[in-house]
Amino acid sequence: MRDQGIDRNDIAEADLRTRRGVFRAVAFRDPVDGHEHMALVRGDVRGREDVLVRTHSECMTGDIFAATRCECGDQLGAALDAVVREGAGVLVYLRGHEGRGIGLVAKVRTHILQDDQGLDTVDSATAIGLPVDVRDYGPAARVLRHLGVRSVRLMSNNPDKVSALEAYGVRVSSRVPLLVPVSADNVRYLTAKRDRLGHDLPQLDGPVRLGEAPVSEVRG
């Protein structure tokens, strides 16, 4: 699936100094979904193969407020740490992906059903008449093309994300596990992601340290 690129008037780049060091912040307005997204770039990635990449879905509760119900905030930090260790890579922060695309208000409503009725992350969405996952990775593909990335090693536990990016013409050479330890707060969520959504989460069968990948990269 090939589509239009990002207009030069809808993109801005500047250095961003963080506690992890300096990244190049590439803010862009996507021509299809209209959201303003951000790519954090470390090192020189233009024209490179096998660039370490994370496409991270916006999660206000996890990313900003460090909620422990999900592993989103921990994955965000672990992915940035991995890019810094690698010396080069890209983290694409995708807005409009809150609650796998259903939005913040709806996501919080699903939390009520999870807490009060014991529904999992899948059934709590369908119970209020919403789809389980409506995220689109076109914006990530478009900014990766803008950055000149030729192929990626994708940090994800979700095999479907590989095919979603490849549908937009991004070549995924391997999938890099990005595992978060299991806790009493997130075990139900992680189990549902494994059993209902097909995520590869071997830490449910044994302990891992944050960001550790006890399994090898899955080659495409």
Give residue-wise pLDDT tens across range 133-166: 999 999 999 999 999 999 999 999 999 999 999 9
Q: Comparing 4-13, 93-102, 116-125, which segment has the lowest mean pLDDT? A: 4-13
Map residue 78 onto helix, strand or coil.
helix
How does residue 216 score in pLDDT terms, banded at 50, 70 and 90?
low
Q: 47 among the known binding-site residues?
A: no
**What does the radius of gyration of the chain's CA atoms come to, in whole angstroms?**
17
Q: 219 among the known binding-site residues?
A: no
What's the chain's average pLDDT?
93
Contact 208, 188 (CB under 8 A): no
pLDDT one-digit tens code per residue, 32-84: 999 999 999 999 999 999 999 999 999 999 999 999 999 999 999 999 999 99
How does residue 217 score in pLDDT terms, banded at 50, 70 and 90?
confident
pLDDT one-digit tens code per residue, 75-113: 999 999 999 999 999 999 999 999 999 999 999 999 999
Residue 177, pLDDT > 50, answer yes
Q: 194 among the known binding-site residues?
A: no
Domain at 11-97+138-196: CATH code: 3.40.50.10990
Q: Is 85 annotated as catalytic?
A: no
Q: 97 among the known binding-site residues?
A: no
User: What pLDDT score does 206 carry?
Assistant: 75
CA dihedral (142, 147, 152, 156) in degrees, to 10, reads -60
End-to-end CA separation in angstroms for the chain: 18
How does residue 3 score in pLDDT terms, banded at 50, 70 and 90?
low
Spatial separation of the C-alpha atoms in residues 63 and 117, rounded to whole Å: 26
Indicate the residue type of 66: A
User: What pLDDT score does 214 carry?
Assistant: 45
Which of these is catalytic: 42, 109, 135, 142?
135
**Mean pLDDT, range 175-187, rounded to an integer:** 94
Q: 198 among the known binding-site residues?
A: no
Residue 124, pLDDT > 80, answer yes
Which of these is catalytic: 33, 50, 123, 133?
133
**Domain boundaries along the sequence of the chain:** 11-97+138-196, 99-134
**Mean pLDDT, range 18-33, rounded to an integer:** 97
Q: Is 20 annotated as catalytic?
A: no
Q: 98 among the known binding-site residues?
A: yes
